Amino acid sequence: MAEYSMETPLSKEDVEKLKAGDRVSLSGTIYTARDSAHERLVKLIEDGKDLPIPLEGQIIYYVGPAPTPPGRAIGSAGPTTSYRMDPYAPLLIEHGLAGMIGKGERSEPVVEAMKKHSAVYFAATGGAAALIAGSITSSEVVAYEDLGAEAIRKLEVKDFPVIVAQDCNGGNVYVEGQKKYAE
């Protein structure tokens, strides 16, 4: 397992060198979105309309942060379970989304889209929301303010810690970890 420091947006070459189990420290811009925002993004694509955020090479973090305490960029910001975004993720990947951050395994249609379009799925540590928030230097709502905590936010991150959970070659820490444990 390798360790990388990467700047966003990610290039195809960045994504293709990552393997399941690699540790990555992300810096730059990432966006937040959960299921309601994903549904709206997909509808815009289907209607041929412009999106409120860029997708090419970008990463979406599945999070609904807690209220921001005074003097902080954001409240606790731990990952949410990713399967709720699975109906929408393949189309977003097809339109350039390079990475997703969440927790839990992804469905076969998402995995196939990741393989076909060179995308990566990162896992952030659940239960470490306050610690993760320390890597977020700024947070700005950029779309769907009516969704409250689930609005799309533009986050600036510095050394945001993630693990490659599923890579663009079919590598999967959830499957590989179970095999190692069984041995």
Query: What's the residue count for the chain?
Result: 183
CA distances from 66 to 14, 73, 101, 125, 148 (A): 31, 11, 17, 16, 10
Angle at 92 between CA 21 and CA 61, to 5 degrees: 50
The residues assigned a catalytic role are: 38
Using alpha carbons, select from 54, 140, 63 the residue that is nearest to residue 98: 54
Terminal Cα distance for the chain, rounded: 19
Q: What's at 116, amino acid-wise?
A: K
Token pair in block for residue 121: 């799925």
Residue 45 contacts residue 91 (beta carbons within 8 Å): yes
Place of tokens 């540590």: 125
